[in-house]
Amino acid sequence: MREGIRKIIPVAGLFILIALFSLTTDGKFFTWRNLQNIVMMASITMVASVGTVFVMAHNNLDFSLGGASALASVFAYLCSGSVLWLFFVLVIVFGIVCGMFTALVHVYGRIPAFMGGLCLMFAGRGIAQTVSAKQSMMVVQAVALNNFWVFLVVVIVVFSVGC
């Protein structure tokens, strides 16, 4: 009985929040524009959470996500002059290399995964700040992809591959 209740509580909480937001915004919560904003804003966190679930499923912690994201962002900016499809491949490979670094430190160095993750977190942020000179960078090619359907397809593909 208790196990069933524990499984229902998060879903019930989600429906309560949806009802609360719907009532307090006079129905504006369910507008197409708001639903697009929710998907676009949540997509980055949703994609990142897929990798985090794998690490946590192996009873480890990984703090490297922020540093790896910062490094990948700077790398994306540096590669932004290349062809668009190559740009995506390079950035994805770079993200995989960051994850492999943490995994190799853990497996071959016999260092706890969270320590390798902390190293990448601090080093990644430091390198990203140094390379970017603490300035915001925008990848001009990727601005054209700031589209709801692109974000939705990316989330669906990542969840399909990850699950």
Could you report the per-residue pLDDT of 51-103, keeping only the tens digit for each? Answer: 788 778 888 787 888 888 888 888 888 877 767 677 778 888 888 888 888 88
- 0.85 exceeded by the pTM? no
Q: Is 59 left (phi over 0), alpha (psi -120 to 50) or beta?
A: left
Q: How many CB atoms lie within 10 A of CB 51?
A: 18
pLDDT, residue 138, reads 66
Tokens read off for 120: 């990448």
pLDDT, residue 19, reads 92
For a pLDDT cut of 70, what percent of the chain falls above it?
91
Average pLDDT over residues 43-51: 79
User: Reduced to 3 states, what is the DSSP secondary structure of residue 80?
Assistant: coil
Q: Which of 71, 66, 91, 68 is nearest to 80 (CA)?
A: 91
Long-range CB contacts (within 8 A, 24+) of 96-99: 98/64, 98/67, 98/68, 98/71, 98/72, 98/124, 99/51, 99/64, 99/68
pLDDT-based confidence at 108, cuts 50/70/90? very high
Amino acid, res. 83? V
